[in-house]
Structure 1
Amino acid sequence: MASATGATLIEDFLAMLSAERGAAANTIAAYRRDLEGAEELLGSLPSACAEDMKQLGAAWRDLAPATVARKCSALRQFYGFLLDEGVIPADPSAHLPRPAARRPLPRILDHEQVAALFAQAEDEARADSPAPLRTLTMLELLYGSGLRATELVSLPLSAVPRDAPFLTVTGKGGQARMVPVSGRAAEVLARWVQLRKSGSDFLFPSGKSHLTRVRLFQLLKELATRADIPAAKISPHVLRHAFATHLLEGGADLRVLQTLLGHADIATTQIYTHVDSARLVGLVNERHPLADRTLSD
């Protein structure tokens, strides 16, 4: 591999990400853009040195910190790959900039807003009309099981549980996981399966394929407006955040939450500890072995 070109090495690196780490297609595409963009600036990534890394930092000066952080992450992983493969003798990526990109806390709905959203959806679905019942079913799975938008709309009919109260979901990078379905969600799901049009392999069919993410966003925002909740506060991901935060408030373990959400790294899940920091402080005060002891003791 030592004589391979920069373009070939980028392809080899991306193939490794896909095969060994199960990276999603969007991640592969983003890394490709970042690496090819860096090579356009430097001429050759494998032969780049520390000064070249500083040059990249200067070229990215006007970009958002989060964008720079992503580009740097792509390059650090790429150079780590080249080092492991024996293509380069030393890793120059230590000289890349380290922007302090602060991850924003997720937007969530409070319990009252969630209740209002469900009350509206349940009221509209009482007559078992297909469209309102479909919306209620999707709402149950977004908030009740914490699914991502893409995971939800692309669910095959075969994922619907028969005996066990679980859905089989294919998440990022093609990774499958089991997510629980509550008793109430199972009831709504059963009603929808009986009412939906037959002949499609998807749980939420639309035309020759499945419902789109864009249409899912639209349906949720329309429902929120009818429930007197600002449409800007609603999205599938906001409902997923509410699922996670409200579970944490109820005492769920962070590792369990990581499994339910399908996070590869628990660091991604830990953002919810900032949302529910008050409960965590109370938990330490109540459960720590020294909680009942005073300084005089």
Structure 2
Amino acid sequence: MSEHLLLAPLLESYFRRRLTKQRNATPATVASYRDALRMLILFAAARLRRKPATLALEDLDRDLVLAFLDELEEKRNNSVATRNARLAAIRSFFQHVAGADPASFGVAQRVLTIPIKRAHIEVTHHLSKAEVDALIAAPDQRTSRGRRDRTFLLFLARTGARVSEAIGINANDLRVERPHPQVLLHGKGRRDRVIPIPKDLVRALTTLLGERGIALHETRPVFVGAHNEHLTRFGATHIVRRAVAKAAAIRPDLADKPISPHIFRHSLAMRLLQSGVDLLTIQAWLGHAQVATTHRYAAADVEMMRKGLEKAGIDGNYGVRFQPNDAVLQLLDSI
């Protein structure tokens, strides 16, 4: 086997030089790409009945990568979005291969021709204000854990922060002493942004930090887990699930909805849109890299109008069951 086809040196140079030094990738990106390539290597080793350390670059050919992507969807039940994210990591590695080892260009070229799979984009799920309020009120305020949980849920609902942004904030990211309190969120791709925070969240954050004896200038985490370190993504999900389980006793419809920490972000975006806030402002607020991502909220709002019209007596194909008035006809023309 020729030396240029050895896999280990290419993987090492990819992570040590390409991602870390040349692209200055964030730790989250490095971790995501590492996991994708680790899964691919383990899949190849099992499929070829070889030890991972003995694999060569030529073993990771186009057919094997396609088989790996199929397994993600068929056996692991990954979504198309997850499948595409894994493929993005693999393609990034083979782009490095094509530049670092010209003799392996053919192998890399065949893998790079694998297309991104198109996915059906569903209407964005969100919660009503009453449902969000029910979840925020669910934690037991008589316990320190309950007060932390309520503040965390309130933070998600009022800021629209991503889970990674919410669990990553420190006390010195808060500016609650200003006339217009703010929080600095550290977003994806090292894109930071400043978000206004309302009075109820300011009170909850101030109380939470006061209980733990944390000053606003300290670089200590606001939301912590059992070991007094930054709350994990798993911990954040558990907080939401615990709130759903309790709130469902009052609002049983919550038990049937796909509720995750991210739904608070969608819910805030919908409330901003329905209040007349323009898409560019919502884009800046949520930290979307492209306004096209924000447009899905407008699509979801149109879908809500359609459902309302259906209840009023117009079917999904706009077949009239009653004689609509001029206002309804104008609304149909605007959709």
TM above 0.5: yes
Q: 1:135 and 1:58 mapped to 2: Cα distance?
A: 42
Q: Given residue 17 of structure 1, which amino acid in structure 2 is its aligned partner?
A: L
Q: 1:202 and 1:93 mapped to 2: Cα distance?
A: 42
Residue of structure 2 in register with 1:259 after alignment: 284
Residue of structure 2 in register with 1:102 after alignment: 120
| Counterparts in 2 of 1:37 and 1:207: CA distance versus 1, 3 Å | closer
Determine which of 59, 79, 87 is the counterpart of 1:72: 87
| Counterparts in 2 of 1:245 and 1:86: CA distance versus 1, 3 Å | farther
Q: Which moved more, 1:218-227 or 1:135-144?
A: 218-227
More RCO (CA 8 Å, sep 6+):
1
Determine which of 128, 152, 155 is the counterpart of 1:138: 152
| Counterparts in 2 of 1:149 and 1:216: CA distance versus 1, 3 Å | farther
- Structure 1 residue 57 and structure 2 residue 71: aligned? no
Question: Helix, strand or coil for the counterpart of 1:167?
Answer: strand
Determine which of 208, 219, 237 is the counterpart of 2:228: 208
Q: CA deviation at 1:27?
A: 1.3
Query: What TM-score does the superposition give when structure 1 sets the normalisation length?
Result: 0.71
Q: CA deviation at 1:129?
A: 6.4
Alignment of 1:1-297 (within 5 A): 3=4, 5-15=6-16, 16-19=18-21, 20=23, 21-22=25-26, 24=28, 25-37=30-42, 40=45, 43-45=55-57, 47=58, 52-58=61-67, 60-64=69-73, 66=80, 68-85=83-100, 87=102, 88-89=104-105, 91-96=109-114, 98-118=116-136, 120=137, 130-161=144-175, 162-163=177-178, 165-172=181-188, 175-194=191-210, 196-198=211-213, 201-205=220-224, 206-211=226-231, 212-229=235-252, 230-231=254-255, 233=257, 234-264=259-289, 266=291, 268-277=293-302
Q: CA deviation at 1:109?
A: 0.8
Q: Given residue 197 of structure 1, which amino acid in structure 2 is its aligned partner?
A: R
Show structure 1 runs of 5+ residues with no match. 282-290, 292-297
Q: 2:123 and 2:271 mapped to 1: Cα distance?
A: 15
The answer to whether the Cα contact below 8 Å between 2:165 and 2:187 also exists between their aligned partners in 1 is yes
Q: CA deviation at 1:167?
A: 1.0
| Counterparts in 2 of 1:278 and 1:235: CA distance versus 1, 3 Å | closer
| Counterparts in 2 of 1:226 and 1:187: CA distance versus 1, 3 Å | farther
Show structure 2 runs of 5+ residues with no match. 49-54, 74-78, 307-329, 331-335
Q: What do you get for the CA RMSD once the two structures are aligned?
A: 3.9
Residue of structure 2 in register with 1:295 after alignment: none
Q: Given residue 137 of structure 1, which amino acid in structure 2 is its aligned partner?
A: T
The answer to whether the Cα contact below 8 Å between 2:37 and 2:90 also exists between their aligned partners in 1 is no
| Counterparts in 2 of 1:71 and 1:129: CA distance versus 1, 3 Å | closer
Identity of aligned residues (%): 24
Q: CA deviation at 1:204?
A: 3.0
Q: Given residue 8 of structure 2, which amino acid in structure 1 is its aligned partner?
A: A
Q: CA deviation at 1:275?
A: 1.8
Q: CA deviation at 1:146?
A: 1.0
Q: 2:150 and 2:239 mapped to 1: Cα distance?
A: 12
